[in-house]
Structures are given as C-alpha cells and as structure tokens.
Amino acid sequence: MNVMKVASAVKEIVNGDILSPKGFKAAGIHAGLRYSKKDLGIIISDVPANSAAVFTTNQFQAAPLKVTQESLKEGGVLQAVVVNSACANACTGERGMKDAYEMRRQTAAAFNLIEHQVAVASTGVIGEYLPMEKVKKGILSLTPERTENQAEAFQTAILTTDTVMKKCSYSVEIEGGKVVMGGAAKGSGMIHPSMATMLAFITTDVNITSSALHLALKQATEHTFNQITVDGDTSTNDMVLVMANGKANQTSLTEDHPDWMNFIELLTCTCENLAKQIARDGEGATKLVEVCVKGAKTNEDARVIAKQIIGSNLVKTAIYGSDANWGRIIGAIGQSDVKISTQSVDISIGTIQMLKKSEPLHFSEEEARAYLLQDTIEIIVDLHEGEGIGRAWGCDLSYDYVKINASYRT
C-alpha cells in the first residue's frame, strides 16, 4: 500500500528545489551564529509575490513570527524571507522584537525592498539573544543567485539538528501551461504540530490571490504537516510560508477556476513530500513510519486516530526494536477521543495482518520481524465503520533521541 499518492496531473521534478519555479533567487552563508555551518539564508522573488503562511499554535510565539504576521497583514505580499538558524529569538522580550524588526529592516535596505514585504524566520535555541552585529554583517554578505549551489546553500543554512536538507519540486498544467512549485524545510525534533512544528518555505510561479493561497495552504497543511509527529512536543518558531510570484502568467487562480484542484494537488504533494522528509529525519530516527486508517466514520476521525498511533511512544519503541507488538497499536487507538466499535478493528503491519474484527490472527513472527527491519514501515488499520480515511507520518524512537536532546545546548 503506497501512502504517498501523487495525482496523475502532478509531476515530480527530479532534483528540483526551492528555485525550480521562475523568478526566485536564494543564498545561504556562514555568518558566525554557529561554529562552522551555514546559518543565514534568504529567498528573494524578482517581483513582489502574493503570499500566505500558517503558524505554530504554541502560546509562546517567537518574535520573528509576530513580525512576519505583521508583514503579511500589509496586503499579503512579500518579496523576500530572511532566515537564521542557531538562535530562535524566542522568549526574548522587547529586545527580541526589536532584533526581529531590525533583521527585516536590514534585509529591505540591503536589497532595496519595501520593508513590510520582508518576512523573518529564526530557529534554534530558545531564550538566547541574536548576535545582531553578526546578523547585520551576514545580511550584507548574502548574494542571492538562481543557481543549484545557492539553493543548496539556503536549504543547508536553515537546518539545526537535521541530518539532511529537505527539498522537493513539482509541476502541473494550469490553462494548458506548466506551473512549478518548489519547497525547502527544516525539522527534526519538537515535531508534533498543531499547525506545523518546523520551518517550511514554498515558492511557486503560479498567479493566485493571497486569500486563495491562504485557503489552499490551510487545506494542504491539515492533511500533511499537521499529520506528522516525532516526539509529541511543539515549538515556538514554526511556520509554513508560500510565495507565489505569478511568473507563469496564467489567469489568477481562485476557487472557481477550472484548474483549482490541480493547484490544490500541487501544493498538497509538495507539503506531503516535505512532511515525510521531516518525519524520516526525526532526531535519532532509523525508520519512517506511515499509518493509514480507513473505514472511519469521517476523514477527521481517521486522521485523529492515525496521529494517535504515530505519536505513541510505545508504538515507536516497538518499531525501533522490530517487535510486531500490535497490542501497542490497539492501545493507542483506544486512547483517542474518537468513539469506535471495539469489535470490528483490523490491523496489519505491511502486508501481514495481525488482527481481524478485533480478534488475533496467527502470523509469522520471523516474517514480521524481517519486515520491521526495513527503513520504511506501514501500519494499516481498518475500522469498518464508514468511508473515512486518514494518514499520518512519524518515526521510531531510539536511544539516540535522548542523547541528542540531553545535550542540545552543548
């Protein structure tokens, strides 16, 4: 069973990235915020781009998020986003807000942009102040280009405990012409979104209004970034930001456009790809776990149960140990707030069915263990109560997760 189903109209661009759409440049450098790795990046559109974003629901939203929200209120148009790693600029009071505004102002001045058309993002350690002299000098050193090297430089500069950069690109036809979307993301720990606990930046050359883009992003996020979990913790800095510069030159998209669903599929595929890369790269993870729940009364019920399963530490540790303990899956299902019939549940791990109508089946432990030793694991649950279907993605829980987070600041 293939959980990732790209619609036939949507085509993945091999080796595509954040600069695959027309009219975008990027850069990433080492500004000295980290010991040696790149830590400051920027994406710039050639023209002002209609934009939309969704933000973490953590009550302690960091200063950069508040500044970006303010920028978007000025008509929903952005031309650049500047991002630093190493320091989250969260829980830093008035000074933190001042520093976030200064990042925006310095970026606008350096690239001759309108100040409120610059977004700001930060990621890293909470409760530390940005070294603003290094940030200011770094902004002046950024040289955005439309090259593969600079796309990779940006994608690397936003990482924290990630082990790999995360990128993808897709295309679809709208009005008979090709539109392209590219994405870059970071995220490895503190992943349990009530929006999207990570940073993701998406570019597209489609022509779409900011209000329609926001509607599409909320819909795509609900089925992708909101369905991943690594460790059950949410963070303070996280957002998904989309910039659409209209360089594809088709009629402006709205819900009434005949190709609207093509765009929804394009955005959903991009978000799902990035979400799965984040889940696979969970701190200390050795396996990507995909859960599909079907036969629920509603799609929302199915999504809730899928995420309950993927978020269970007992399920995650069983997957790490290659232990086909389906009892932990049934336990997680029972903990959800969704009311179900407890007499009709089927559970399979991969193609191996272990429970049918809530009664155990004989299965080969050796075959199950061999399957669980792979790096991608599928759990399928059928509730036999309706047509609802939902998916969620996560990872196993290993000893290394504790090691990484026990010494995060050191």
Q: Contact 85/33 with Cβ under 8 angstroms?
A: yes
List Cα–Cα distances, 8 to 5, 16, 171, in angstroms: 9, 18, 11
**What is the rounded CA–CA span in Å between residue 318 and residue 59?**
33
The question of whether 224 is a catalytic residue gets the answer no
Residues in the chain: 410
Please pick, among 197, 221, 229, 234, the residue that the annotation labels catalytic.
Answer: 197
Q: For residue 349, give the nearest of 308, 331, 307, 327 by alpha carbon.
A: 327
Token pair of 345 as six digits: 């549940």
Q: Residue 53 forms beta bridges with which residues? A: 241
Catalytic residue positions?
Answer: 197
